[in-house]
Structure 1
């Protein structure tokens, strides 16, 4: 499979199941391999992850539902949200939580004051590259996933439940599992809008 073919295979999957052939340990190894080679500014390696499976995975989405229920505008709105959480996320095999270790960012800001205003942005780029690297790895191995952002709503609960260091800032949640339904249609903007060639 070429890289472009792999990119086309990588899609947001919202019908997840828990029928994976890989063990939690194999998935953890897969994630580590992808993260190890993901580039970051000045090789800062500021990305941290928790790979949740089993009860930890289910607990994450139960906590998320509790928080969403507390802020829901109506019972009807919450019912739709709960159906999505249960069917697209909690029903999967696990979740990868992505964090930025802010102590790394702070250390770089102090060590290189001329670039201090850039290091947070660069750490966000590292999160994006890392999530994409894991997403491609999952796609290559037939694992469905999507990238979610229930932070900062769930930050305090996640930190308390999973003993997250104070310097780790939650940036994304990636539920994963067996693919139980196809990805939706994807629209593309014109290449002429996306890029220009200058000679």
Structure 2
């Protein structure tokens, strides 16, 4: 069990951090973040080894532009608060996608599974998102996961393929708080049946 302790500790230490500064920790570069994302996208399991996960990283003016368009697209003032804070306080955003063209090819090739390939894509994307979030926490990068999918898709650079389906946005930066919030847990034992 001791061999997996660091991995389990990394999972347990990941937290949602909304209070961010628009910078990275002093010992972390944007290339470090890029390397983490690339490794996780490459090594996250996918159904039939379809390798459907995709990601981009938005920083600087492009990060601000995409989130500003999102703020302006959301109806009602209460819905604008979170995307406005992302635009103004975060260093960047990792946008996670799956490639629908690949999913459609799998559906045609394996029609018996056609109806569940989109669900397989969701599972794999979720795994990539959480693994990335956990890995960045190990670099002392804070973050939170958002789902402004339709708004973000409309605001993304036009070079992003149309068949890439947006799944989430991992907003990241330097935590603006010294102590991360404690997490409460429910009783949820895993039973063994044999």
Counterpart among 39, 54, 77 of residue 48 in structure 1: 54
How far apart are the structure 2 equivalents of 1:89 and 1:196? 44
Deviations 1:28-74 (A, max 9, x none): 12211122111111111111111111111111211111111xx11xx
Cross-structure match for 1:4: 8
The offset of 1:162, in angstroms, is 4.3
**1:98 match: secondary structure:** strand
How far apart are the structure 1 equivalents of 2:153 and 2:43? 27
Deviations 1:67-98 (A, max 9, x none): 11xx11xx4x35xx43x334355411110001
Distance 1:24 1:162, change over 3 A: farther
**1:10-49 mapped onto 2 (5 Å cutoff):** 10-20=14-24, 21=26, 22-49=28-55
Cross-structure match for 1:59: 65
Q: Which moved more, 1:145-154 or 1:115-124?
A: 145-154
Distance 1:38 1:89, change over 3 A: farther
**1:42 match: secondary structure:** helix
Q: Structure 1 length normalisation: TM-score?
A: 0.86
Q: CA RMSD in A?
A: 1.8
Counterpart among 166, 184, 189 of residue 187 in structure 1: 184
Unaligned 5+ runs, structure 1 = none
How far apart are the structure 1 equivalents of 2:185 and 2:87? 26
Q: Kindly tell me the number of residue pairs found equivalent between the two proteins.
A: 187
The offset of 1:19, in angstroms, is 2.8
Cross-structure match for 1:157: 155
**2:168 match: secondary structure:** strand
**2:166 match: secondary structure:** strand
How far apart are the structure 1 equivalents of 2:146 and 2:87? 9
Counterpart among 84, 87, 95 of residue 97 in structure 1: 95
Cross-structure match for 1:196: 191
How far apart are the structure 2 equivalents of 1:28 and 1:90? 21
Q: Structure 2 length normalisation: TM-score?
A: 0.88
Cross-structure match for 1:172: 168
